Structure 1
Amino acid sequence: MVTQPVPWEIRAAAKRADTLSKIPQAWRLAPADLAKAKNQRDLTGPFVQQFLDADEISIISKESVDIVNGIRSGQRSAVSVTTAFCKTAPIAHQINNCLHEIFFDKALDRARELDAFYAETGRTLGPLHGLPVSLKDQFHVEGVDTTMGYVGWIGSNLGIKHPSQAHQVESQITTELLSLGAVLFCKTSLPQTLLFGETKNNIIGQTLNPHNQNLSCGGSSGGEGALQALRGSTLGVGTDIGGSVRIPAAFNGLFALKPTPERLSYRGVANTNPGQNTYRSAVGFLSTSLGSLELALQSVLSTRPWERDPAVVPIPFRQEVINEYRSRADKDGVVILSEKPLKLGVLWTDGALRPHPPILRGIRDVVNALRQAGHKVVDWNPPLHATAKKIHLAFLLADGAHDVHSHLSRSGEPLIPDLQESFKLRPPIPLLEYQSLTVEGLEYELAYSDYWNSTAVDGHVVDAVIMPVAPHAAVVPGKYYHTAYTEVINLLNYSAVAIPVTKADKAVDLVDDSYQPLNDIDKLNWDAYDSDVYHGAPVGLQLVARKFEEEKVLAIAGIVTSALETYHRK
């Protein structure tokens, strides 16, 4: 008798039920609370905190650096910290649908082991001792599914080479985090295919923006962004091949670091079309604070990842670079020595899509803050970003979506409606066309580098560039028309940090009725702006430096953030 395959809808429903069953009864919300959440515009702050006690709120309100310092000094235990986040994360999931995997029992066992180690030795295991860290659902954890949003991988690990490896594999960065004392406790939602600026799949549906449920949380590390916006985590690991850590950070009022791909290990990480490595995906971090990003980078690099992954370039953490840039400004971001200000470029528009009013106001605020603090700001007019977007997108789709369809075929699930056109099956591009695109990409990198060098006409080359992450704040679902603002940075393999700047304000960010769109897509984007709908949406920007300048751009981000805070206070 032939066994009929289980329909994908039933498998997805069973997975959702299994995830909910892992939430302790005491942490489950009443139907009335769930109904209230659906009608609540903003789920952050007071709304999510109503389900926590004062001590739990105190713990989750602290930043990563403060948390590990508190545990190191004996003021907090790893168990108390882990319990607070293990309670907040499922509450966040119940009201915002942001988790794929829950393994709180494993996390609490780990926290108890760390506390026992501390009690016995009087020292911490590593710089992340006791810190709960969330993972995008691309990273393998032993004993836990990695579906990457595909129904066909439920009960296993996407990317394993043999069924015997199911639940036995561990990504290199997972191993590194554990060696540093981190507590891993959940995996977050992402979009089907990964290559989408929103977060939606056939397993859990859609993840919306906790600050404004009219809007998207971004993608592809969207579940990370949503979880952190609700303080269910202060530090998470994501990936970025077209903006996938920067977009969720900007849309959710967070910080993110996208390194040059070869700075951190991608070994043993599930991915879409993993054979496309001309423009690699980068492992990056999202966090509720800038200091957490520095802590994460410094900690992971201290494990010398290049010794286990030959793709990683052997560059240790460079504290001296951070110190040199920090020495240029005081705690308010103000220039200390008049001969050593920062010189920052500013890209107001890429010439294809003009940003919405909240983004333009955010850029103006940053520029005014920097000038008030004594730094130099110059307009940035590089080679056309549209060229980079065309080349980069061609590589992302080079295999004709065969990898995506191989994963869909495991369950019979369809593409989600948003992706049915862009990921329909087609022949892969020919080798000679692939090689020609590679040459185009290299030529674009050279042209961009030459332009950057040309800014040294006054003897001071631009240190970093301020630019939008997207032409809008956290976007209305289905209306993300243009990803070139982030994709160009992936084609260049530059280092970038996303920072929160402000929030959309319907009283200030008025529609400019006089604006004449540049093209049909620009018109679609402009027509999508509604100041009432966007009200309260986080506005984030990115700071971009060149290849392998992660420490430099982190230090500059700190100065920019301090100058912006000073400007807003005044």
Structure 2
Amino acid sequence: MPFRNLLKYPGEASDNSSWEAKASAKRAATLAKIPAGWRLDEQDLDRAANERDLTRSFINQHLLPEEIAIVEQGSVSLVEGIREGRLSAVQVTRAFCKTAAVAHQINNCLHEIFFDQALQRAQELDNHLASHGTVLGPLHGLPISLKDQFHVKGNATSMGYIGWIDTYEGNPDPNLVFNVNSQVVTELLALGAVLYCKTSLPQTLMLGETVNNIIGRTLNPVNQNLSCGGSSGGEGALSALHGSSVGLGTDIGGSVRIPAAFCGIFSLKPTHNRLSYRDVANAIPGQTTYASSVGVLGNTIEAIHLVLSSLISTKPWLRDPNVAPLPWRQGIVDETLSRAGKTSRSASAGEKRPLKLGILWTDGVVTPHPPVARGLHLVVEAVERAGHKVVTWTPPSQTTAKRVHISFLTADGGHDIHRQLDLSGEPLIPQLRDPFCLRDPMSLLEYQALTIEGRDYEAAYSDYWNETSNAEDAYTEAINLLDYSTVVIPVTKADKNQDLADENYVPLDELDVKNWRAYDPEIYDGAPVGVQIVARKYEEEKAWAIGKIVYDCLRELEV
């Protein structure tokens, strides 16, 4: 459905029913926060609705050359430019605010807009640098976008629930509404960041695409035939449109990794308690056996390092007892990078032992589509050419991990989700009506049995890893059950001339039949292909460094 039919401008008639009226009013209020000079006309919206790829040249026609020069820089370059006086925080913030405003109008990717607050903050940072000659912190002046789970004082958090509009997670207490910062938000501000918008997500968070009853659907801006992924889909889409150079999302089943892979950007999902989840809104918050992680998405691999290491430098465990007291270990990064050569710029194996990587060609349930299979072969070719070793990875069945993980997410019988829906009377979106229909909660004995099964799977996976001596949602959900550290990097794009479907392929089962039939080379043409690189628990530094090495290997393959 085209964007203009979902987001009504102020003054347009609202829908009749209560929840629809609230959603319509929220859409209008969000659009009203976009400055008049940044509004697109009906002709622009029509063109956007019929364009396959909204990135680069399409969105850039709505920006000034100096704005394009800013938003196409990486996060590290931006903070360096501000620190050295070549850019001001106001210049950078205004460029990203405008780009985000255009991105939202053509791609429907924002839930909250607070550009005025951001520009005021940027001016304060510029004044601080002028007065003191020093930056406030390593993120001084860097605009950072947030998935709409993070509370920012002065702004709403709906998390895709209509009943949460203008409340604090459904609670109307004026002492809480618009008066809470998530701990990680306070840490970003202390580091000098500028916060300016919150991005779209699916109703309930429990979906690998992005659609809710407030703003409708967010499509993939690289290829509007396809999904942007979920649940941090708005972050992925905004980053692909260069409306953000780096942002925060969350991940309990692939939610920072799927959008990154779908939208052609980078992400890192850490072990769940490496960053603070304190005062972050969540679905089914009582389910902590397999907890959600705060993760980072960005346009460059360096942006991930900058934000993650900066946040950990604040010692978040001092304010959130659930965070592991584990400093950022740059020595692990440096040691890992040294295995790719004498300098981090080289991807070839150095004097020390080369990397040994395992490749999971298939989980045995859903066979990767041809572009993804080609992407995996490209990774193998690139790292082997650089002198590293690759082995086939055949771990314990990930079907078990997926079943156990989903069982925990549905263990309460959908009661938490329906409690939030009942605040407004909105229905579940169609994709969620079956898995989250209201039913009796799981019994305690069954819950405990699943806990044991999950524990045993983690042990079996660890044993396999040790024995091997190696460094569809099931591909991501297994990692959440294991709570491993994971990085996503872009590899290539689907090519209708190369990635032809094998007509003689024999599907593994009914799910594989459905997946295989969904592939159409013409429809998928140009879609990004990414891979996830997995390390053990609390190995974020190693995962990031290996991600950089593999990405550098891929770039050298292109030369």
TM-score, length of structure 1 as denominator length? 0.94
Partner of 2:489: 499
Cα distance in 1 for residues equivalent to 2:261 and 2:163: 31
- Supply the AA of the counterpart residue of 2:518: A
SS of 1:261's equivalent? coil
Q: How does 1:204-283 map to 2 (within 5 A)?
A: 204-283=215-294
- Supply the AA of the counterpart residue of 1:356: H
Partner of 1:22: 33
Partner of 1:489: 479
CA shift, 1:329, in A, is: 1.2
Partner of 1:514: 504
* Counterparts in 2 of 1:314 and 1:159: CA distance versus 1, 3 Å: farther
Partner of 2:409: 396
Q: How does 1:402-421 map to 2 (within 5 A)?
A: 402-421=415-434
Partner of 2:379: 366
SS of 1:168's equivalent? coil
Partner of 1:525: 515
- Supply the AA of the counterpart residue of 1:447: A
Cα distance in 1 for residues equivalent to 2:282 and 2:154: 19
- Supply the AA of the counterpart residue of 2:348: V
- Supply the AA of the counterpart residue of 2:554: L
SS of 1:411's equivalent? coil
| RMSD, matched Cα | 1.0
Cα distance in 1 for residues equivalent to 2:187 and 2:173: 24
CA shift, 1:163, in A, is: 4.6
**1:101 is aligned to 2:112:** yes
Q: Which string of whole-angstrom CA distances, capped at 9 and with x for unpartnered residues, describes residues 525-552 of structure 1?
A: 0000000000000001000000000000
Cα distance in 2 for residues equivalent to 1:332 and 1:354: 33
SS of 1:555's equivalent? helix
Partner of 2:470: 462
- Supply the AA of the counterpart residue of 2:288: N
Cα distance in 2 for residues equivalent to 1:278 and 1:72: 43
CA shift, 1:164, in A, is: 2.8
**1:428 is aligned to 2:441:** yes
CA shift, 1:332, in A, is: 3.5
Tell me which of 334, 339, 349 is aligned to 2:348. 334
**1:383 is aligned to 2:396:** yes
**1:324 is aligned to 2:332:** no
Q: How does 1:181-220 map to 2 (within 5 A)?
A: 181-220=192-231
Q: How does 1:73-222 map to 2 (within 5 A)?
A: 73-158=84-169, 162-222=173-233
Q: Which string of whole-angstrom CA distances, capped at 9 and with x for unpartnered residues, describes residues 440-485 of structure 1?
A: 0000000000000001xxxxx212xxxxxxxxxxxxxxxxxx3100
8 Å CA contact 2:164, 2:170 repeated in 1:
no
8 Å CA contact 1:159, 1:270 repeated in 2:
no
SS of 2:296's equivalent? strand
- Supply the AA of the counterpart residue of 2:274: R
Q: Which string of whole-angstrom CA distances, capped at 9 and with x for unpartnered residues, describes residues 168-195 of structure 1?
A: 1110000000000000000000000100
Tell me which of 313, 316, 321 is aligned to 1:305. 316
Q: Which string of whole-angstrom CA distances, capped at 9 and with x for unpartnered residues, describes residues 19-77 of structure 1?
A: 00000000001111110000000000000000001100000000000000000111100
CA shift, 1:159, in A, is: 6.2
CA shift, 1:328, in A, is: 1.2
- Supply the AA of the counterpart residue of 1:284: G
SS of 1:43's equivalent? coil
Cα distance in 2 for residues equivalent to 1:313 and 1:332: 33
Cα distance in 2 for residues equivalent to 1:491 and 1:396: 11
8 Å CA contact 2:167, 2:173 repeated in 1:
no
CA shift, 1:6, in A, is: 6.6
Cα distance in 1 for residues equivalent to 2:169 and 2:494: 38
Tell me which of 438, 452, 467 is aligned to 2:451. 438
SS of 1:95's equivalent? helix
8 Å CA contact 1:237, 1:285 repeated in 2:
yes
Cα distance in 1 for residues equivalent to 2:337 and 2:170: 42
Partner of 1:467: none
Cα distance in 2 for residues equivalent to 1:332 and 1:208: 36
Cα distance in 2 for residues equivalent to 1:358 and 1:390: 27
In structure 1, list runs of 5 or more residues that go unmatched.
Answer: 456-460, 464-481
Q: Which string of whole-angstrom CA distances, capped at 9 and with x for unpartnered residues, describes residues 112-154 of structure 1?
A: 0000000000010000000000000000001111000001111
SS of 2:198's equivalent? strand
CA shift, 1:157, in A, is: 2.5
Cα distance in 2 for residues equivalent to 1:554 and 1:454: 24
Cα distance in 2 for residues equivalent to 1:157 and 1:554: 35
Partner of 1:547: 537
When structure 1 is superposed on structure 2, of 253-262 and 321-330 the one drifting more is: 321-330
SS of 1:167's equivalent? coil
8 Å CA contact 1:251, 1:539 repeated in 2:
yes
- Supply the AA of the counterpart residue of 2:528: P
CA shift, 1:162, in A, is: 4.0
> How many residues are paired up?
541
When structure 1 is superposed on structure 2, of 520-529 and 6-15 the one drifting more is: 6-15
Partner of 1:561: 551
Cα distance in 2 for residues equivalent to 1:489 and 1:358: 22
- Supply the AA of the counterpart residue of 2:292: S
CA shift, 1:557, in A, is: 0.6
SS of 2:120's equivalent? helix
CA shift, 1:420, in A, is: 1.0
- Supply the AA of the counterpart residue of 1:181: G
In structure 2, list runs of 5 or more residues that go unmatched.
Answer: 1-15
SS of 2:209's equivalent? coil
**1:64 is aligned to 2:75:** yes
SS of 1:515's equivalent? coil
Identity of matched residues, %: 61
SS of 2:175's equivalent? helix
Partner of 2:527: 537
- Supply the AA of the counterpart residue of 1:262: N
SS of 2:121's equivalent? helix
CA shift, 1:290, in A, is: 0.4
Partner of 2:23: 12
**1:284 is aligned to 2:292:** no
Cα distance in 2 for residues equivalent to 1:144 and 1:431: 39
